[in-house]
């Protein structure tokens, strides 16, 4: 069925396959948890079913007024999150470079000190009482999206004796059915920790890594307020963005 208020029909044909030489191997021993998570048998690829290609459509009415403003969506009245204020924007694109409208984006991150609002996060950095660390938005007609937040801090993690995650934001992208979900991470231009991270080093192609790095865009900044970073997400095809939950293709 077409989306309400639209004459666009959902795409039902076969999708382009990923280039598996572009994506990292599922088993990356330097990233310790991949040893337990990686499949023990050969991967199988299946065509999408009708229920995966169709289903509930996300409507704009489900979004709150501040869902795409992480600086204020968890803050007490008159207060705001602590940290370097930034705008993250870009487009969600298909394998042909066309914008994908109506996609639901969820994003979550650590605070400016590198700590998540999660009861099992034991990092010593303090919590920010005015920062929840999550939000969502829906892409526009051209596939565009934007949200405001604070730049997340890096943090140590118990993978090796001195491993640190670079500053990053997690993205979850939903299509027009609940089975259509992809997950990825965005890093920041100029962060030297990117090239030391065991998760990032599992990606063998430097050009592939660079697709996960948001470019600083001084032309889109708000003077005396926020810097801007541009991050496009390519859903499918031979140069798709790298997604954590779909190494076999999408």
DSSP string computed for 83-147: S-EEEEEEEEE-TTS-B-TT-EEEEEE--TTS--S-TT---SSPP-TT---EEEEE--TTSEEEE
Mean pLDDT of 156-167: 95
pLDDT score of 68: 97
Catalytic residue among 72, 117, 170, 196: 170
For the chain, the domains span 70-234
**Distance (Å, rounded) from C-alpha 64 to C-alpha 79?**
18
Catalytic residue among 31, 115, 116, 148: 116
pLDDT score of 5: 46
DSSP state, 38? S
Give whole-number Cα distances, 190 to 112, 193, 227, in Å: 17, 9, 14
Mean pLDDT of 148-161: 96
pLDDT > 90 fraction of the chain, expressed in percent and rounded: 58
Catalytic residue among 168, 176, 187, 236: 168
Say yes or no to pLDDT of 78 above 60: yes
- 168 is a catalytic site residue: yes
Say yes or no to pLDDT of 4 above 50: no
Domain 70-234 class in CATH: mainly beta
**Distance (Å, rounded) from C-alpha 201 to C-alpha 81?**
32
Catalytic residue among 18, 136, 165, 236: 165
By DSSP bridging, strand 85-93 and strand 227-230 are parallel
- 196 is a catalytic site residue: no
- 8 is a catalytic site residue: no
At 90-117, the pLDDT tens digits run 999 988 889 999 889 999 999 999 999 9
Q: Where are the alpha helices (DSSP H) in the chain?
A: 33-37, 50-53, 198-201, 206-210
Average per-residue pLDDT for the chain: 86
Which are the contacts of 160, defined by CB distance < 8 A and separation ≥ 6? Answer: 30, 32, 198
Say yes or no to pLDDT of 186 above 70: yes
Name the pTM for this structure.
0.85
By DSSP bridging, strand 85-93 and strand 163-165 are unpaired
């Amino acid at each position: 069925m077409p989306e309400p208020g639209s004459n666009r029909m959902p795409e039902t044909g076969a999708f382009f396959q990923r280039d598996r030489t572009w994506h990292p191997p599922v088993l990356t021993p330097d990233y310790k948890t991949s040893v337990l998570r990686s499949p023990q048998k050969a991967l199988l690829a299946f065509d999408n079913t009708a229920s995966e290609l169709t289903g509930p459509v996300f409507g704009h009415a489900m979004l709150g007024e501040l869902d795409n403003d992480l600086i204020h969506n968890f803050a007490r009245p008159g207060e705001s999150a602590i940290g370097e204020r930034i705008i993250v924007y870009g487009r969600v694109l298909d394998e042909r470079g066309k914008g994908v409208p109506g996609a639901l984006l969820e994003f979550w991150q650590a605070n400016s000190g590198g700590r998540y609002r999660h009861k099992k996060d034991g990092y010593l950095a303090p919590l920010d009482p005015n920062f929840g660390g999550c939000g969502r938005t829906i892409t526009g007609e051209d596939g565009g999206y934007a949200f405001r937040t604070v730049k997340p801090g890096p943090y140590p993690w118990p993978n090796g004796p001195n491993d640190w995650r670079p500053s990053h934001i997690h993205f979850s992208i939903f299509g027009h059915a609940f089975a259509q979900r992809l997950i990825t991470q965005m890093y920041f231009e100029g962060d030297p920790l990117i090239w030391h991270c065991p998760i990032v080093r599992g990606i063998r192609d430097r050009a592939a890594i660079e697709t996960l790095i948001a470019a600083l865009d001084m032309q889109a900044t708000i003077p005396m307020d926020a810097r801007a970073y541009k991050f496009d997400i390519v859903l499918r095809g031979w140069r798709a963005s790298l997604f954590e939950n779909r190494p076999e293709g999408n």
